[in-house]
Amino acid sequence: MDWGKLKFFLGEVTRNFSRNTGMQMTAIGTVAITIVLLGMFLFVRAALADVGASLLAKIEISAYLSPDATPAQIHAIGRFLAQDPRVESAQFIPKRQGLAELRERTKGTIDTALLTENPLPDKYRIKVRATEQVPSVAAEVRRLTGVANVVYGQQVVQRLLQLGAVLRRIGIVVIAIFFAVAGIIIANTIRLTVFARRREIAIMQLVGATNTYIRLPFICEGLLDGCIGAALAVGLLAVARATLWPRLLEALPWAQLTATPLDARVLAAELLAVGAAIGIVASWIAVGRHLRT
Partner 1 sequence: MIALRGVSLVYPNGVRALDDINLEIAKGEFVFLVGHSGTGKSSLLRLLYREARSTAGEIVVDGIRVDRLRRNRIAALRRHLGVVFQDFKLLVDKTVWENVAFAMQVTGAHTRDIMRQAPRVLDLVGLSHKSRMYPTELSGGEQQRTAIARALVNNPKILLCDEPTGNLDPANTTEITALLQRINLKGTTVVVATHNQAVVDRMRRRVVRLDDGRITTDEERGYYYLGLGQTQVLSG
As measured in angstroms, the least distance from the Cβ of 3 to partner 1 is: 7
Q: Does 277 bind partner 1 (CB under 8 A)?
A: no
- Segment interacting with partner 1 (CB under 8 A) among 120-128, 207-215, 229-237, 271-279: 207-215
Among 199, 251, 253, 259, binds partner 1 (CB under 8 A): 199
Q: Does 250 bind partner 1 (CB under 8 A)?
A: no
Q: If DSSP codes are grouped into helix, strand and coil, which group holds residue 4?
A: helix
Pair 43, 267: CB distance under 8 Å: yes
Q: If DSSP codes are grouped into helix, strand and coil, which group holds residue 293?
A: coil
Nearer to partner 1, 106 or 205 (CB): 205
- Segment interacting with partner 1 (CB under 8 A) among 49-57, 84-92, 201-209, 238-246: 201-209
Q: How far is CA 183 from the centre of its chain?
A: 22
Query: What is the total count of residues that contact partner 1 (CB under 8 A)?
Result: 19
- Segment interacting with partner 1 (CB under 8 A) among 3-11, 43-51, 165-173, 275-283: 3-11
Q: Does 14 bind partner 1 (CB under 8 A)?
A: no
User: DSSP letters of 46-102?
Assistant: HHHHHHHHHHHHT--EEEEEPTT--HHHHHHHHHHHHH-TTEEEEEEE-HHHHHHHH
Q: How many helices (H) and strands (E) does the chain have?
A: 9, 4
- Distance of CA 18 to CAs 7, 11, 192, 272, Å? 16, 11, 12, 22
As measured in angstroms, the least distance from the Cβ of 211 to partner 1 is: 7
DSSP 254: G
Count of CB atoms within 10 A of residue 129's CB? 14
Phi, psi of 68, rounded to the nearest 5 degrees = -95, 20
Among 8, 119, 173, 263, binds partner 1 (CB under 8 A): 8
Among 181, 204, 249, 255, binds partner 1 (CB under 8 A): 204
Q: If DSSP codes are grouped into helix, strand and coil, which group holds residue 204?
A: helix
- Segment interacting with partner 1 (CB under 8 A) among 55-63, 91-99, 208-216, 279-287: 208-216
Among 35, 48, 214, 237, binds partner 1 (CB under 8 A): 214
Nearer to partner 1, 2 or 104 (CB): 2
Q: Nearest to residue 146, comparing CAs of 64, 66, 61, 76?
A: 66
Nearer to partner 1, 158 or 210 (CB): 210
Q: If DSSP codes are grouped into helix, strand and coil, which group holds residue 1?
A: coil
- Segment interacting with partner 1 (CB under 8 A) among 130-138, 148-156, 198-206, 250-258: 198-206
Q: Strand pairing partners for 128?
A: 87
| CA 191 – CA 62 distance, rounded (Å) | 64
Query: For strand 87-93 and strand 123-128, is the pairing parallel, antiparallel, or unpaired?
Result: antiparallel
Among 205, 239, 260, 289, binds partner 1 (CB under 8 A): 205
Q: Does 209 bind partner 1 (CB under 8 A)?
A: yes
Considering only residues 137-176, where is the footprint of partner 1 by CB under 8 A?
none
Q: Does 1 bind partner 1 (CB under 8 A)?
A: no
Among 66, 131, 211, 258, binds partner 1 (CB under 8 A): 211
Pair 115, 86: CB distance under 8 Å: no
Instruction: Name the residues that contact partner 1, by CB under 8 A.
Output: 2-5, 8, 199-200, 202-211, 213-214
